[in-house]
Amino acid sequence: MPTILVNSVPPGGAHETDVIIIGAGPVGLFAVFELGLLGIKARVIDILEHPGGQCIELYPEKPILDIPAIKTISGEQLTRQLLDQIEPFGPEFHLNEMAVSVANTEDGKWRVDTDMGTSITASAICIAAGGGSFQPKKPPIPGVDDFEGDTVFYAVRQRQMFEGKNIVIAGGGDSALDWTLNLQPIAEKITLVHRRKEFRGAPDSVEKMRALEKAGKIDVHVAQIKGLKGADRIIEAVSVSSEADGDYDIPCENLLAFYGLTMKLGPIAEFGLNLTENRVEVDTEKFETSVPGIFCIGDMAHYPGKLKLILSGFHEAALMSHGAFHYVFPDKKLKFQHTTSAKGLQAQVSGE
């Protein structure tokens, strides 16, 4: 899986902006651009550790054929080009965080809180969360509930938590391989467990992992995890079974289980919005929801005739931006400009 790095704001603290965008997929990224053209600042929240949404998670290398004027483009390249496009507007990213609650402030604005203790206040909110938030699949390991969140994790939010630890990483995909490579330099010991000899991750990552194994810097076990040992939410060992060695225990201090991702509506379902079939109802003038000041665009938006296409989301982002303008600048009149003739916008976007 490609790694697309952007500067992400450290979790925690209180922040202010004009519009909060929930979702850093292509439609959320283009919303930054459309808002920026109107002089509106944005902060973007996403549960993933990188921008790109489904384009990066599901089809980073598959061709996308319906982006206007582009014959074919990969999900990865589309994300990179959108990031280049919005760079002049200086968006702030809060990655690896989930928006968990929305509340009104005393001065009539909105506050969004995340699961990492971040609080952001803004005049409007735009939900661009695609089909929902990507959330880790829970592994079918007996007793795993007794350790979750303390010594068993399904995602890495703070890398330094695992410094000097004896870690078992379970999985055969990109996440398992990426974190094996990233944590190996700081961990006391890394043991990678996968039920098959073959790995599904990027060939380059597999090659690097095998090099670490050959050098004796990590252990790799072809085995199935059958259970956990420990007490008081502290894991002591992972019990596994393999064809070659039978049943045995691997001592560890942490288990990182990467069994894939699933798409869920998540906390957005609790935001008090009108929903239809797990989608957010919007109007087609401004793409505003049933709650004034909260907008929704992209795959999560529901309205008659809706097509779940990136190009439809781009159109929705433009109209949403014009609707949000009146919340951000209630005393200003919106002056519509074509970018072809607005020299000020051209200078800003080109960096001149």
Is residue 149 in a domain? yes
Same domain, 37 and 66: yes
Task: Among 214, 235, 259, give the residue marking a domain's end.
Answer: 259
Four-CA torsion 334, 339, 341, 346, nearest 10 degrees: 110
The tens digit of pLDDT for each residue in 195-241 reads 999 998 888 889 999 999 999 999 999 999 999 999 999 999 999 99
Across 258-323, the runs of DSSP E, i.e. the strands, are 261-264, 275-276, 279-281, 294-296, 301-302
Same-domain check for residues 276 and 167: no
Residue 238 and residue 146 in one domain: yes
Note down the domain range covering 268: 13-135+262-350
Per-residue confidence at 178, pLDDT binned at 50, 70, 90?
Answer: confident
DSSP annotation of 8 reads: B
In a domain, 6, yes or no: no
Tell me what percent of the residues of the chain surpass a pLDDT of 70.
93
pLDDT at 170 over 90: yes
Whether the Cβ atoms of residue 288 and residue 278 lie closer than 8 Å to each other: no
With a cut of 60, say whether residue 179 has pLDDT above it.
Answer: yes
How many domains are contained in the chain?
2
Average pLDDT, the chain: 90
First to last CA, the chain: 35
Residue 346 confidence (pLDDT): 61
Proportion of the chain above pLDDT 90, given as a percent: 70
87 plus 57 within the same structural domain: yes
With respect to residue 219, please indicate whether it lies within any of the assigned structural domains: yes
The closest alpha carbon to 70, from 316, 336, 314, belongs to 314
Tokens 């995340």 correspond to what residue?
A: 114
pLDDT at 343 over 70: no
Assigned domain for 5 exists = no
> pLDDT at residue 256 above 60?
yes
Three-class DSSP category at 203: helix
Name 16's Cβ contacts closer than 8 Å, sequence gap at least 6.
Answer: 120, 121, 122
- Give the DSSP H or E segment for 313: helix 310-328
Residue 8 lies in a domain: no
Within this chain, do residues 272 and 131 fall inside the same structural domain, yes or no? yes
Positive/negative CA dihedral, 191, 196, 202, 207: positive
b/e for 10-27, b at 16 or more Cβ within 10 A?
ebeeebebbbbbbbbbbb
Q: Does 266 share its domain with 131?
A: yes
Q: Is 85 exposed, middle or buried (0-12, 13-18, 19+ CB in 10 A)?
A: middle
Same domain, 26 and 124: yes
Query: Which of these, 81, 82, 73, 74, lies nearest to 1 by C-alpha position?
Result: 74
Q: Which of 259, 281, 312 is the last residue of a domain?
A: 259
Which tokens hold the place of 11? 């979790």
pLDDT at 291 over 90: yes
Assess whether 128 and 62 both reside in one domain. Answer: yes
Residues 221 and 120 in one domain: no
245 & 317 share domain:
no
Identify the H or E element spanning 216: none
Residue 98 near residue 266, CB atoms below 8 Å? yes
Question: Span 251-256, mean pLDDT?
Answer: 97
- Per-residue pLDDT averaged across 16-28, rounded? 96
Domain limit, last residue, from 238, 259, 280? 259
Determine, yes or no, domain membership for 97.
yes
Q: Could you give the CA distance from residue 13 to residue 116 in angstroms, rounded to a whole number? A: 10
pLDDT at 133 over 80: no
Residue in 133, 49, 125 with CA at minimum distance from that of residue 93: 49
The CATH number linked to 107 is 3.50.50.60
Confidence of residue 270 (pLDDT cuts 50, 70, 90): confident
Cα dihedral across residues 109, 88, 57, 7: positive or negative: negative
- Residue 155 — very low, low, confident or very high, per pLDDT cuts 50/70/90? confident
Say yes or no: 110 and 193 in one domain.
no
Shared domain for 128 and 276, answered yes or no, is yes
Query: Which residue would you say has higher pLDDT here, 16 or 59?
Result: 16
Mean pLDDT of 314-343: 88
Beta-sheet strand order (sheet of 189-194):
152-153, 254-257, 166-170, 189-194, 219-222
Question: Is 290 a member of any domain?
Answer: yes
